[in-house]
């Protein structure tokens, strides 16, 4: 399940790809037209065939000179109208004022028949300074580009809404971060890169007409079905809020932590956007903070659901004048909690392999999460191994039980769980099948990304390519890659991931 399909049979050359740019039809105050800054001595690090297939691009093009030039930013594709968009946002809960594409350039949109809306925008990230770069150099380092590339495609493999990544192009040129690092450009694809912060921009700058223009654009491009609603703007806020709630529930279920849930990183489509210091939960700790810079833990695992809602409120505030009535705004936002709770409950139920809902299920889950936390049990491994539990044979529990320091705590929980399975006459074989479709065997653990990055920094891209292939099928057994689904090595504890990228 969830293997990236190859839906678009066309295999076009890059030069044949028709690019539109509807965003460029918006008023000039929404963006700045500019070309990417050339990248010296570019080379291909990795391309995603599954992403290319979405826009009907022949993957053989990855090795063409044309591809290298266009996706390094050295050449501008015919029909492309490159631009950087303006937006604002709340960062770490504080109004940050104007931000914008400080290192991203939108090339235009390609046809993508299998995608909602039928098109995908192509955007370079790390392609040089723009008028919105503030103090930044407009570049992205190879390390963060590989992380964004792999995680985008991994999330798609997990079946979680996300921007996609077409390729990473590296360069020997260096920029300064904590130390000098080589630069790269990652090409991202999404139906739209409009953010909550794009709406906030016009609200805080007191441009109600531009706010309306933006809302109408988003409705036409991304939510055409809502235009006939009696209150289209309210319907838009409600739908974005619902999607955001469901997205965060999906993150929680696989242990994904975004790391920088500022409103400028929140997609108006409800997809995962702007991969930075993200992480996947390994040793379970609900207070886990994946972003080294986030000392307060605002974006910790357990905070994500609340922050998702907070961000929707920031969007709602920006939309009050459009919707016309604060009560209507509150009504639209009130979908968040029930939408999150319902999706989250369904996801936990699936993760536990329960077919029905029974009284006591919540308590069963709570007790489980408690012992997972006190024992710092590896989150993906636990749920993957849980599917091997035999309803009537505790003797076969060893690999699962061994994940706990406190084995009696697990034994006590497993008694309750088995009782629950018997209550619904659970069948071991069917349960394993359904659980293995929702509990990934492979996630992008920090150390896996780090290993691939270190090799890539030595110009060996084989590990990036291998990881990409594994992570595109995270629910498949892939026994030849068992060693990618084990506990992290000790050195992994020292990996620090920060906002610096
Ligand atoms: P982020 O937290 O990575 O989503 O970035 C927040 C803002 O900073 C966005 O407006 C980015 O475009 C901008 N930014 C981040 N890194 C750089 C950079 N190296 N050069 C220019 N702008 C940047
Ligand atoms: Mg961002």
Quick: pLDDT tens for 266-283.
999 999 999 999 999 999
- Separation of CA 260 and ligand 1 centre (Å): 12
Q: CB atoms < 10 A from the CB of 127, how many?
A: 32
Q: Which of 264, 274, 294, 397 is catalytic?
A: 264
Which atom of ligand 1 is closest in space to residue 265's alpha carbon?
4
The reported pLDDT for the residue numbered 4 is 46
Which atom of ligand 1 is closest in space to residue 137's alpha carbon?
20
The reported pLDDT for the residue numbered 178 is 92
Nearest CA to ligand 1 atom 22: 102
Q: CB atoms < 10 A from the CB of 375, how many?
A: 18
CB-based contact 263:311 (threshold 8 Å):
yes
Q: Which of 90, 91, 103 to mutate to test the pocket of ligand 1 (most atoms within 8 A of CB)?
A: 103
Name the DSSP class of 234: H
The reported pLDDT for the residue numbered 496 is 85
CB-based contact 227:233 (threshold 8 Å):
no
Where exactly are the structural domains of the chain? 14-193, 197-346, 358-501
Question: Residues of the chain with pLDDT > 70: what percent?
Answer: 98
pLDDT tier for residue 7 given thresholds of 50, 70 and 90: low
Say which ligand is closest to the CA of 144. 1
- Separation of CA 448 and ligand 2 centre (Å): 24
Residues 6+ apart with CB under 8 A from 275: 147, 148, 151, 152, 258
Q: What is the Cα–Cα distance from 290 to 210, expressed in whole angstroms? A: 36
**Which whole number is the average pLDDT over 121-129?**
98
pLDDT tier for residue 9 given thresholds of 50, 70 and 90: low
CB-based contact 320:326 (threshold 8 Å):
yes
- Separation of CA 140 and ligand 1 centre (Å): 9
Cβ burial, residue 499 (10 Å; 0-12/13-18/19+): middle
Q: What are phi and psi of 115, to 5 degrees?
A: -90, 150
Which atom of ligand 1 is closest in space to residue 87's alpha carbon?
10
Say which ligand is closest to the CA of 193. 2
Strand boundaries in 103-241, DSSP class E:
104-111, 119-125, 140-141, 164-176, 180-190
Tokens of 139: 């570049």
Bridge-partner residues for 190, per DSSP?
Answer: 121
Which atom of ligand 1 is closest in space to residue 264's alpha carbon?
4
CB-based contact 254:347 (threshold 8 Å):
no
Cβ burial, residue 44 (10 Å; 0-12/13-18/19+): middle
For residue range 131-179, list pLDDT tens digits in order: 999 999 999 999 999 999 999 999 999 999 999 999 999 999 999 999 9
**Which whole number is the average pLDDT over 291-297?**
94
CB-based contact 105:85 (threshold 8 Å):
no
Tokens of 138: 């407009």
For residue range 215-230, list pLDDT tens digits in order: 999 999 999 999 999 9
- Separation of CA 85 and ligand 1 centre (Å): 12
CB-based contact 253:351 (threshold 8 Å):
yes
- Residues 167, 35, 90, 162: what is their CA dihedral angle, to the nearest 10 degrees? -20
Q: What is the Cα–Cα distance from 309 to 330, expressed in whole angstroms? A: 12
- Separation of CA 270 and ligand 1 centre (Å): 20
For residue range 441-499, list pLDDT tens digits in order: 999 999 999 999 999 999 999 999 999 999 999 999 999 999 999 999 999 988 888 88
Q: Which of 99, 126, 195 to mutate to test the pocket of ligand 1 (most atoms within 8 A of CB)?
A: 99
- C-alpha distance from residue 494 to each of 46, 152, 490, 498 (Å): 27, 24, 8, 13
Q: What is the Cα–Cα distance from 304 to 295, expressed in whole angstroms? A: 15
Residue 5 has pLDDT above 80, yes or no: no
Q: CB atoms < 10 A from the CB of 13, how many?
A: 13
Q: Which residues line ligand 1 (CB under 6 A)?
A: 99-103, 132-133, 136-139, 260, 265, 274, 276, 499
**Which whole number is the average pLDDT over 398-404?**
97
Say which ligand is closest to the CA of 294. 1
- Separation of CA 119 and ligand 1 centre (Å): 26
Nearest CA to ligand 1 atom 13: 102
Residue-averaged pLDDT of the chain? 96
pLDDT tier for residue 415 given thresholds of 50, 70 and 90: very high
Q: Which has the closest alpha carbon to 51: 124, 116, 148, 120?
A: 120
The reported pLDDT for the residue numbered 2 is 40
Residue 6 has pLDDT above 90, yes or no: no
CB-based contact 200:268 (threshold 8 Å):
no
Residue 78 has pLDDT above 90, yes or no: no
Q: What are phi and psi of 207, to 5 degrees?
A: -125, 75
CB-based contact 171:186 (threshold 8 Å):
no
The reported pLDDT for the residue numbered 10 is 78
Active site residue 264: yes
CA angle 278/222/225 to nearest 5° reads 130
Cβ burial, residue 281 (10 Å; 0-12/13-18/19+): buried
Say which ligand is closest to the CA of 136. 1
For residue range 10-46, list pLDDT tens digits in order: 799 999 999 999 999 999 999 999 999 999 999 999 9
For residue range 104-116, list pLDDT tens digits in order: 999 999 999 999 9
Q: What is the Cα–Cα distance from 256 to 443, expressed in whole angstroms? A: 9
Q: What is the Cα–Cα distance from 6 to 155, expressed in whole angstroms? A: 17
Residue 3 has pLDDT above 50, yes or no: no
Place of tokens 């974006």: 299
Q: What are phi and psi of 366, to 5 degrees?
A: -60, -45
Nearest CA to ligand 1 atom 16: 136
Nearest CA to ligand 1 atom 14: 102
- Separation of CA 217 and ligand 2 centre (Å): 21
Tokens of 75: 């050449």
């Amino acid at each position: 399940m969830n293997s990236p399909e190859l839906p678009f049979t066309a295999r076009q050359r890059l030069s044949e790809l028709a690019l539109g740019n509807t965003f460029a039809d918006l008023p000039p105050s929404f963006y700045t037209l500019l070309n990417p800054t050339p990248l010296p001595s570019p080379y291909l690090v990795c391309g995603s065939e599954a992403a290319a297939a979405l826009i009907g691009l022949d993957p053989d093009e990855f090795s063409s000179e044309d591809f290298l030039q266009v996706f390094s930013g050295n050449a501008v594709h015919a029909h492309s109208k490159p631009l950087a968009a303006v937006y604002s946002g709340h960062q770490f809960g504080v109004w940050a004022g104007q931000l914008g594409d400080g290192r991203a350039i939108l090339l235009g949109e390609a046809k993508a028949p299998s995608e909602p809306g039928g098109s995908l925008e192509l955007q370079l990230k790390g392609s040089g300074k723009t008028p919105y770069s503030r103090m930044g150099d407009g570049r992205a380092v190879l390390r963060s580009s590989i992380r964004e590339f792999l995680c985008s495609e991994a999330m798609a493999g997990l079946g979680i809404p996300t921007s996609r990544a077409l390729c990473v192009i590296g360069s020997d040129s260096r920029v300064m971060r904590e130390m000098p690092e080589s630069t790269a450009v990652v090409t991202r694809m999404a139906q739209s890169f409009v953010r909550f912060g794009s709406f906030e921009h016009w609200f805080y700058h007191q441009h109600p007409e531009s706010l309306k223009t933006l809302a109408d654009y988003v409705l036409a491009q991304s939510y055409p079905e809502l235009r006939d609603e009696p209150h289209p703007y309210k319907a838009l806020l409600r739908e974005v809020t619902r999607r955001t709630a469901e997205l965060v529930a999906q993150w929680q279920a696989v242990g994904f932590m975004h790391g920088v849930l500022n409103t400028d990183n929140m997609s108006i489509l409800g997809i995962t956007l702007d991969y930075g210091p993200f992480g996947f939960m390994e040793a379970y700790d609900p207070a886990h903070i994946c972003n080294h810079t986030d000392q307060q833990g605002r974006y910790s695992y357990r905070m994500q659901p609340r922050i998702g809602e907070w961000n929707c409120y920031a969007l709602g505030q920006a939309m009050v004048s459009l919707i016309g009535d604060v009560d209507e705004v509150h009504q639209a936002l009130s979908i968040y909690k029930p939408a999150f709770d319902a999706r989250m409950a369904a996801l936990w139920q699936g993760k536990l392999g329960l077919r029905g809902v029974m009284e006591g299920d919540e308590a069963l889950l709570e007790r489980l999460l408690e012992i997972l936390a006190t024992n710092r049990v590896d989150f993906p491994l636990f749920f993957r191994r849980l599917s091997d539990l035999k309803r009537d044979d505790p003797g076969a529990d060893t690999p699962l039980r061994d994940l706990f320091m406190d084995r009696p705590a697990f034994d006590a929980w497993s008694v309750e769980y088995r009782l629950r399975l018997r209550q619904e006459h659970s069948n071991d074989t069917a349960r394993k099948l359904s659980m293995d479709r929702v509990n990934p065997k492979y996630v992008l653990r920090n150390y896996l990304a780090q290993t691939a990055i270190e090799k890539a920094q030595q110009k060996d891209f084989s590990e990036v390519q291998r990881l990409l292939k594994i992570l595109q099928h995270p629910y498949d057994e892939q026994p030849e890659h068992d060693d990618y689904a084990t506990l992290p090595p000790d050195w992994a504890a020292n990996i620090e991931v920060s906002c610096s990228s």
